[in-house]
């Protein structure tokens, strides 16, 4: 009987330490956010002249209005590739416009494929951000899983102010 117990000690200990290691791995985090007004030519690359399709390069570009490139962009630097986010995850953006005191919100769904980059451009384009020279007064961006659980968040300094 003792021989059987010893036989299982090492695999059980190895499994225990493996479980600890997996739980200790850092989750996908939003490390930094820059806010920029970008015009359509900023996204045009040489390959687009030949293929007719936008080439995002080493970034993921998500826009509120498909086909409209000019707008306000939240440029996120993630701790790892966005592909590490759970299936069905999305970015929830809350922001306050200079002319409107109410909080505006928009969700950007992560595509199922093509998320093997750690830079994400979240663009409020078209009617979502019609002001050409304005930036938001404050913002908060959350990474949310399919069940609505917040995985990580990043907010501007003014978001905390009353």
pLDDT in tens, 101-159: 899 999 999 988 778 899 999 999 999 888 888 999 999 999 999 999 999 999 999 99
145 in any annotated domain: yes
What residues pair up with 60 in beta bridges, in sequence order? Answer: 120
21 in any annotated domain: no
Residue 37 in this model has a pLDDT that exceeds 60:
yes
Residue 149 lies in domain = 29-160
Specify the CATH number for the domain of residue 147. 2.60.40
Number of domains in the chain: 1
Q: What six digits make up the tokens of 35?
A: 């806010």
What does R_g of the chain's alpha carbons equal in angstroms? 21
Task: Kindly give the residue spans of alpha helices, DSSP state H, lying in the chain.
Answer: 2-24, 46-51
Torsion of CA 143, 133, 119, 61, to 10 degrees: 80
Cβ atoms of 85 and 28 closer than 8 Å: yes
91 in any annotated domain: yes
């Amino acid at each position: 009987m003792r021989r059987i117990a010893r036989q299982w000690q090492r695999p059980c200990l190895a499994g225990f330490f493996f479980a600890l290691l997996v739980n200790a791995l850092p989750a996908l985090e939003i490390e930094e956010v820059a806010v920029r007004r970008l015009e359509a030519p900023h996204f045009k690359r040489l390959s687009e002249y030949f293929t007719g399709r936008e080439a995002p390069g080493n970034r993921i570009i998500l826009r509120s209005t498909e086909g409209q490139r000019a707008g306000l962009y939240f440029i996120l630097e993630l701790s790892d590739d966005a592909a590490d986010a759970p299936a069905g995850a999305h970015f929830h953006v809350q922001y306050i416009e200079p002319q409107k005191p109410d909080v505006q919100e928009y969700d950007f769904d992560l595509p199922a494929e093509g998320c093997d980059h750690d830079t994400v451009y979240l663009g409020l384009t078209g009617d979502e951000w019609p002001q050409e020279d304005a930036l938001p007064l404050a913002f908060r961006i959350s990474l949310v899983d399919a069940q609505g659980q917040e995985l990580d968040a990043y907010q501007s300094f003014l978001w905390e102010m009353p």
